[in-house]
């Protein structure tokens, strides 16, 4: 850990930020959705099934193996049922919101370190795909050497053309 990160004032301000986040009404609602999902064995099982099927399809694609229409339909049917489950959908929406929060905080801290000052709104304006040089935005197309690791498992390919993917992350 760096000396700055160990500074008692930095640690206190970090704890203050974390406490502020935890006490926000929206955060309490998100935690309730996550807790409801974690307490619902059927929803968790349904989620795991979709993730497993998505990983299997992904592996086949990476091995350049053909995907059958039946496999794709089976995955899509399972994914659609998952998204129709209000407990699972609430969990996926909460996950997406929390990832967005984490990304925003990370972007703000990174930009502060990069610039050596507090960033202004215009410092965050995107210049091209994925926010210019640092990533964080979402590309409309694959290829061009862009990575799309958003810090969680996906149950879909990254075609981006259809908007929301199987995990609800919209990436």
Q: Give the model confidence (pLDDT) of 75-123 as tens digits.
A: 999 999 999 999 999 999 999 999 999 999 999 999 999 999 999 999 9
Extended strands (E) in 5-100:
none
Residue-averaged pLDDT of the chain: 81
Which is nearest to 99 in space by CA: 20, 153, 144? 153
pLDDT tens across 115-164, in order?
A: 999 999 999 886 544 444 444 444 433 333 333 343 444 443 333 333 33
Given a contact cutoff of 8 angstroms between Cβ atoms, the answer to whether 131 and 119 are in contact is no
pLDDT at 28 over 60: yes
The predicted structure's pLDDT at residue 158: 35
Which whole number is the average pLDDT over 35-48? Answer: 98
* Cβ-based neighbour number of residue 136 at 10 Å: 15
Q: Measured between alpha carbons, how far is residue 159 from residues 28, 96, 139, 140, 166 in Å?
A: 33, 18, 10, 9, 11
Residues 35, 32: Cα–Cα separation, whole Å: 5
Q: Give the Cα separation of 69 and 85 in Å (integer).
A: 24
State yes or no: pLDDT of 57 exceeds 80: yes
Closest alpha carbon to 51 in 41, 61, 59, 40: 59
The whole model's pTM is what?
Answer: 0.67
6 band by pLDDT with thresholds 50, 70 and 90: confident
Predicted pLDDT at 3: 86
User: How sure is the predictor about 8, in pLDDT bands with cuts at 50, 70 and 90?
Assistant: very high
3-state secondary structure of 106: helix
């Amino acid at each position: 850990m760096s000396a700055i990160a160990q500074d008692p004032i930095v640690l206190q301000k970090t704890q203050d930020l974390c406490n502020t986040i935890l006490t926000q009404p929206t955060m309490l609602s998100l935690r309730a959705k996550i807790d409801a999902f974690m307490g619902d064995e059927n929803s968790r099982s349904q989620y795991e099934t979709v993730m497993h099927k998505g990983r299997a399809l992904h592996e086949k694609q990476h091995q350049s193996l053909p995907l059958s229409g039946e496999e794709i339909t089976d995955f899509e049917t399972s994914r659609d049922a998952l998204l129709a489950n209000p407990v699972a959908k609430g969990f996926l929406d909460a996950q997406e919101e929390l990832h967005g929060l984490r990304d925003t905080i990370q972007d703000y801290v990174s930009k502060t370190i990069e610039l050596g000052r507090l960033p202004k709104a215009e410092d965050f304006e995107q210049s091209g795909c994925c926010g210019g040089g640092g990533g964080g935005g979402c590309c409309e197309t694959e290829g061009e050497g862009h990575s799309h690791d958003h810090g969680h498992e996906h149950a879909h390919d990254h075609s981006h053309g259809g908007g929301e993917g199987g995990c609800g992350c919209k990436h």
